[in-house]
Structure 1
Amino acid sequence: MSRQQIRHLIEDLLREDGLIETGVTGVRLFRVSTPVPCAPAVYEPSVIAIVSGSKEAVLDGERRVYDASRYLCCPMSMPVQAGTPAASPDNPLLGVSIALDQRAMTELTVEMETAGAGAPMPRGNLPAHGIRFASWDAAFSEALLRLLQLGRSRADTAVLGGARLRELHYAILKGEAGAFARHAFGAGNAIARSIAHVSSNLDAPISIDDMARRAGMSRAVFHRKFKQATAMSPIQFVKSMRLGNAAMKIAAGMTVNEAAMHVGYVSPSQFSREFKRMYGQSPRQWSNALHVPAGLG
């Protein structure tokens, strides 16, 4: 019932395709009714909940489709290819994107560990491949509904938005992907911290040795644990993050040279070669095609 109510809320607020803010920081509603082929994108730490239609994400060559039966949980920045190839006017993609606040998630994770709440976290390395899917449970559905209902009142949103968002974060951490998310946001996860540092510093030189030092590991151990967590080597990951971010900037209107510089490329020719090798077309061809409507990756 909660999921149907959420769908009706989104349908009432979004009569046309687009992406809108709810008034609660990091919580946005989206609608897509035309097919969008999978294209380069970067998932920042977030949960994406679909209430109608389906969405695709390709990570390291593996295609994953998700719809109203399960939501996507991505606790770390991940380079992907994403799209909505099945969207149509008769079956539009409708959903909610919730940014996962690092501080709030870490605080909740520590509090849950202290209180003994939630399923035990897996020992050892972060579970592989950077994203998880979780079934909608009652706690998640009801917390999301209560959060979105605030949009009817600006005052309610301002006063209660933070508390309702915290409740939703807690429901995510207790849900089917909760142990995975708690592992990523736990104070001891050096790989997740390393990924956050890379995501925030794409325009600066990034050394694998420096990443390993920041994680407190030898280069060999860091390489092995990083690949277990992301399915990519550190070098592949950094390159994918840079090129994915650049593709999104180009699609949003930035020039090819500006986008290359923004993600740390000094040589335009090297950027063009690596972009074409990864995506099968040059940055200028990508710019002309504009596959991804801004904000809908």
Structure 2
Amino acid sequence: MTLAELMQQYAIKAKMNDLEGIRETAIEGVWFYRSSQGNRRQPFVYQSGIIVLGQGNKNIHIGQTPVRYGPDDYLVVGVPMPLECEAIATNNEPLLGISIDISPALLHKLVKKLEASRYKNVCEEASQCGLKSVKMNDAMLDACKRLMIALCNELDVVMLGELLLEEIVYRALVSDSGHVLFELAYQEGAYARVAKALNRVHQEYHEQLNVQELAEEANMSISAFHQAFRNVTLESPLQYIKKVRLNKARELIQIEGRRVNDAARLVGYSSPSQFSREYKRHFNETPRAAKL
């Protein structure tokens, strides 16, 4: 069976055949995604991890280089990335995929084993964007298929779930773009330092964060932090913070049903009018339109 067929089989088994969005599976850290029609190009924040599409295609717009991926590739996302994404359903069939979280404990465990075997995967380029598209090879495809088969069997989930998750992360680590994850384990490297600052942004987006505080969090000078931050995220720190706040506000309005002024306050805006202006500029619609 193809990966798409196995995902469809799982959707029926798990009663997710009408799902529009993403839901966690019985294996912690593994999420199933389904969209019947896709979506037009719009802002999102991709969380760190591995993203595999079994059916459909996505166009990601980040910086000046669009990234296209579908069943023939997968994404390795080292740090949360604000971007714009267009999801395309093909042949009138829904998009189907899985997203896999990578815990720091698992990442360090695997990197430590790889280093003990004298394996390294380090990018020599100065720019180390936190998102890479990787060609799907036979080993990764086989691991993803076995994961979907296991998800259809409760005992397999218990006995094999963590092992399959570990194998998929290992396959990503040794891929051509595995350095995106590999270098997160190097605590003293610029990439890992920026990731630490990004973690603070996503935890404290409602606070009045400034670049100096984030640079201190990364234990870097402001100028060095600015450059390293842009290399990883393709954004300035202030642009990144703004996008994180606006995306979180959209979730509060659309998913939790919060009032516009409450959402603005909860993500750190003291001026509702400024929030509305920036929201409209970012999403090309007013916050009130998001409630409809």
| TM bucket normalised to smaller | 0.7 to 0.9
In 2: Cα distance, 1:106 partner to 1:95 partner: 26
- Distance (Å, rounded) in 2 between the aligned partners of 1:268 and 1:62: 34
1:270 is matched with which residue? 274
C-alpha displacement at 1:254, in angstroms? 2.8
Deviation at 1:286, TM superposition (A): 2.7
Residue aligning to 2:14: none
Ranges in structure 1 where 5+ consecutive residues have no aligned partner: 289-297
Match of 1:144 in 2: 144
Give the secondary-structure state (helix, strand or coil) at the position aligned to 2:107. helix
Contact persistence 2:10–2:148 (CA under 8 A): no
Q: What is residue 96 of structure 1 aligned with on the other side?
A: 98
Higher relative contact order (CA 8 A, sep 6+): 1
**Scaled by the length of structure 1, what TM-score is found?**
0.86
Q: Which amino acid aligns with 2:266?
A: H
- Answer with 154-163 or 49-58: which moved more: 154-163
| Structure 2: tracts of 5 or more residues without a match | 12-16
Identical residues among aligned pairs (%)? 27
Q: 1:67-78 to 2 correspondence within 5 Å?
A: 67-78=70-81
- Over 3 Å counting, the alpha-carbon distance change for 1:49 and 1:284 in structure 2 is same
What's the offset of the Cα at 1:22?
2.5
1:165 alignment counterpart? 165
Q: CA deviation at 1:211?
A: 0.7
Choose from 3, 6, 9 the match for 1:12: 9
Is the Cα–Cα contact under 8 Å of residues 39 and 82 in structure 1 kept in the other structure? yes
Residue in 1 aligned with 2:109?
107
Match of 2:254 in 1: 251
Normalising to structure 2: TM-score of the pair?
0.88
Does residue 231 of structure 1 match 2:228?
no
* Root-mean-square deviation over aligned CA pairs: 2.1
Show the counterpart of 1:184: 184
Q: Once the two structures are superposed, what CA deviation does each residue of 1:101-125 show, in whole Å capped at 9, x if it has no partner?
A: 222113322332232225x312475
Match of 1:294 in 2: none
- Change in Cα spacing, 1:155 to 1:33, as seen in structure 2 (3 Å) is same
Amino acid in the other structure paired with 2:181: A
What amino acid does structure 2 have at the position aligned with 1:269? S
Q: CA deviation at 1:20?
A: 4.0
Q: How many residues are paired up?
A: 282
